[in-house]
Amino acid sequence: MTVTIAAEPWDAEDGERLRSEMQAELADRYGIPDQETEKPTAESVRVFLVARDGQGEARGCGALQVLSDDMAEIKRMYVAPSVRGTGVATGILRALEDAARELGVTTVVLSTGPRQPDAIRFYQREGYERFAGYGPYIGHPMAQCFTLRLTDA
């Protein structure tokens, strides 16, 4: 599948729709509403990317939140179910890593959950390593945290 991935405003309609679809899927998987205490916002997100197919349809998204001079967190990574397995997620992930490098970041981190085995396999396949956690995810029983040193990737 041919896609274009570009930065878009956090509060644009397609981005909001994709993030709502992600939240609905997670609520269904876990049987609970979003419990994230510090939700990303237009002010906290440095980069928000949207992947569009050849017809311009928004098919996936991902965000980057800078945590420190050398670390950023990947947030709101989502790909529509109809295009999973087509390379869209890999494209978004690589674009987020490139954006992190442009910001001078050397390490990216992310958190997913145990009821998202597809996401866990994806991040491991893409070279991310599981670790104990960061910030609010340290010791959290539902957090599966991963990291990648961009200098090694």
The answer regarding whether domain 3-149 maps to CATH 3.40.630.30 reads yes
pLDDT for res 62:
98
Res 6 pLDDT > 70: yes
pLDDT cut 70: percent of the chain above it: 97
pTM, two decimals, is 0.95
What average pLDDT does the chain have?
94
The structure tokens listed for 64 are 């980057």
What would the pLDDT profile of 17-41 be if each residue is shown by its tens digit? 999 999 999 999 998 877 676 789 9
pLDDT for res 151:
83
pLDDT for res 37:
66
pLDDT for res 40:
93
What would the pLDDT profile of 84-122 be if each residue is shown by its tens digit? 999 999 999 999 999 999 999 999 999 999 999 999 999
pLDDT cut 90: percent of the chain above it: 88
